Amino acid sequence: MILEQVVYRIKPSCRSAFHVHHNQVVEALAGLPGFVSLTLWTETKDPDVRADHVVWDDEESAMAAHQVFSELAGAQEMMKAVDTVFHSAHFRELLSSE
């Protein structure tokens, strides 16, 4: 299985717009093949930074999700609300299937 961290850096003036688009992202990711689980909004030291943790069944599923995620994150409204939205590849770890 693949664990990924998705980090959102939210502009303080756009929190409500971010919440609407974040819900769309979550719904889209959860509907993809190979989706295992999603943990929302891990605590961070910065109140304007959010991080979701997503677990995928395999590398192929994770890569397919990147395309969908990029399309959603590229929406004009999302970009107004969020400075950077990205899959942090350096957080990716292979998880034991046990």
The 10s digit of each residue's pLDDT in 43-84 is 667 777 777 888 889 888 888 887 777 777 665 555 565 654
Q: Which pLDDT score, from 0 to 100, does residue 83 have?
A: 52
Average pLDDT, the chain: 71
| pLDDT value for 94 | 38
Number of domains the chain is built from: 1
* Burial per residue of 5-40, b for 16 or more beta-carbon CB atoms within 10 angstroms, e otherwise: bbbbbbeeebeebbeebbeebbeebeebebbeeeee
Quick one: average pLDDT of 22-38? 85
CATH number at residue 35: 3.30.70.100
Write down the pLDDT at residue 5. Answer: 75
Whole domain around residue 62: which residue ranges?
Answer: 2-94
Q: What is the pLDDT of residue 81?
A: 57
